[in-house]
Amino acid sequence: MSNWYSECSPLEKRTFWASFGGWALDALDVQMFGLAIPALIAAFGISKADAGLLGSVTLFFGAFGGWLGGALGDRYGRVKALQITVLTFALATFACAFAMSYTQLLLLKAIQGLGFGAEWAVGAVLMAEIIRPEHRGKALGSVQSAWAIGWGAAVLLSALVFTYAPADVAWRILFAIGLLPALLILYIRRGLKEPVRAVAADAKAPFFATLSGIFHRDVLRSTLVGGLFGIGAHGGYAALTTFLPTYLREVRHLSVLGSSFYLAVIIVAFFCGCVASGIISDRIGRRANVAFFASACIATVLVYIFAPLTNGEMLVLGFPLGFFSAGIPASMAALFSELYPAGVRGTGVGFCYNFGRVVSAAFPFLVGFLSDRIGLGPAIGIDAAFAYALVLIAVVLLPETRGKVFEQAATARV
């Protein structure tokens, strides 16, 4: 990161760290749920399918949050929208700590999803517009690597909290920690500047005009294929990671600390994969980069789940699993940002990235449902491989956009 980062201006660097911090704290909040699933099942007396539905609801509402957040950024400004979205998911996660029933937790996870989806969309476009084109892939890949930081922090906190606190209290402590992202707002207010951009629509036009601009015939293909890309990317990740801690504990019979060590290997690899994907994407192009990582991910997931591996072999294979699964999400922000003109860029990025959440919301539920019939491991492997195959189909249909120079102004297509 040092070479390209040293060439950045102070504003580019401040924007990078604001986006990096927001994404890391997003991951902290979201990944704590997967780690708390066994405790939630016990606390509320629910099935694995019910637990999967909690994850699905978060993904489903994240789709609408991303679309709405992107449109808010197009109309009212990226920086202002970023503050609102960070506060939304932080407060919702904190409130989850006080849920007294499954229904209450379901509602709060939906609100968390709205804020989470919106924050990524706004932050990704803000970074894409501030950073210079030749470094866009590397910068946004590095921002995506922040997910590994937050994921790792969640695993560490989970191991500590569940080791020293009763399970029925520990999960509440984890969610209460989710208030931390709200502190990022102070940095955003002081350090960031609104990028030069086009207003998506006339101020007197209805807000719906901003939301619908991505369905204009000039950009409709990008919207449809980008949505398919999002389905595959999010579906594969959700199918793999939502129940992975449960798989390691219940199927592989690892302790909380033991499973945390296995997850740590995957998380470190995920960080490396995000950074590598950004570098490769700027060198060989967006399409070739995604095709490589998607193909490698399918092969690795199938081996990880279906091959008769020992625990030691699984530990070793955890690195390529995390590395290859990182390459796809790390490429999405740059690729989607380059598909749209400025006036609808936030809306387009938010929709493509998060539309996948609407359909991928079914993947955690399907894993839980299928696990009762074919076992948890096969359910994870089949769902994840199918999802990543959709990414390969989408990337064939998308144009190459590497190095695209953003316009300083654009007329909204509404």
User: Tens digits of per-residue pLDDT, 386-411?
Assistant: 889 999 999 999 888 887 777 553 33
Instruction: Give the per-residue pLDDT at 255.
Output: 59
The most confident of 180-194, 247-261, 312-326, by mean pLDDT: 312-326
DSSP assignment string, 224-243: HHHHHHHHHHHHHHHHHHSS
Q: From CA 406, how far away is CA 112, in angstroms rounded?
A: 32
Instruction: Give the per-residue pLDDT at 200.
Output: 44
Beta-carbon contacts of 238 under 8 Å, excluding residues fewer than 6 positions away, are 55, 59, 360, 361, 363, 364
**350: amino acid identity, one letter:** G
Cβ distance 171 to 157 under 8 Å?
no
Asked if pLDDT for residue 198 goes beyond 80, the answer is: no
The CATH architecture of the domain made up of 11-192+210-397 is: Up-down Bundle (1.20)
| Residue range 371-376: mean pLDDT, rounded | 79
Asked if pLDDT for residue 289 goes beyond 90, the answer is: yes
**361: amino acid identity, one letter:** A
Residue that wins the pLDDT comparison between 228 and 243:
228
Cβ distance 19 to 125 under 8 Å?
no
Residue the block writes with tokens 């986006």: 19
Instruction: Give the per-residue pLDDT at 412.
Output: 33
State how far the alpha carbon of 70 is from the alpha carbons of 80, 136, 376, 394, in Å: 12, 19, 36, 22
H or E stretch at 388: helix 376-397
Residue that wins the pLDDT comparison between 211 and 86:
86
H or E stretch at 263: helix 256-284
**Percent of the chain at pLDDT exceeding 90:** 12
Residue 260: half-sphere exposure toward Cβ, Cα within 13 Å: 18
Q: From CA 14, how far away is CA 216, in angstroms rounded?
A: 34
Residue that wins the pLDDT comparison between 315 and 133:
133
Task: State pLDDT tens for residues 51-62.
Answer: 878 877 887 787
Task: Cite the DSSP H helix spans in 177-219.
Answer: 184-191, 207-212
Task: State pLDDT tens for residues 322-371.
Answer: 899 888 888 888 888 888 887 788 888 888 887 877 777 778 778 878 87
Residue the block writes with tokens 């591996």: 309
Instruction: Give the per-residue pLDDT at 201.
Output: 45
| Residue range 241-255: mean pLDDT, rounded | 69
| Residue range 7-13: mean pLDDT, rounded | 87
∠ CA(403), CA(407), CA(409), 5° rounding?
A: 165
Task: State pLDDT tens for residues 71-105.
Answer: 888 877 888 888 888 888 888 889 999 999 999 99
Give Cα 248 distance to the centre of its chain.
22
Instruction: Give the per-residue pLDDT at 414.
Output: 34
What is the dihedral sign for C-alpha 368, 370, 375, 380? negative
Instruction: Give the per-residue pLDDT at 100.
Output: 92
- Which tokens in the block code for residue 114? 């709205």
- Which tokens in the block code for residue 265? 């290997």
Q: How many helices (H) and strands (E) does the chain have?
A: 17, 0
Residue the block writes with tokens 């390529």: 320
Beta-carbon contacts of 93 under 8 Å, excluding residues fewer than 6 positions away, are 29, 32, 112, 175, 178, 179, 181
Question: Mean pLDDT score of the chain, rounded to an integer?
Answer: 81
Instruction: Give the per-residue pLDDT at 288.
Output: 92
Instruction: Give the per-residue pLDDT at 106.
Output: 92
Total-model pTM: 0.74
Closest CA to 322 of 277, 273, 363: 273
Instruction: Give the per-residue pLDDT at 292.
Output: 94
Cβ distance 298 to 327 under 8 Å?
no
Give Cα 119 distance to the centre of its chain.
10
Neighbours of 179 (CB within 10 A): 15
Looking at residue 215, what DSSP letter applies?
A: G
Instruction: Give the per-residue pLDDT at 260.
Output: 65
Asked if pLDDT for residue 376 goes beyond 90, the answer is: no
Instruction: Give the per-residue pLDDT at 413.
Output: 31
Q: Confidence band (pLDDT; 50, 70, 90) for 162?
A: confident
Residue the block writes with tokens 């909380």: 256
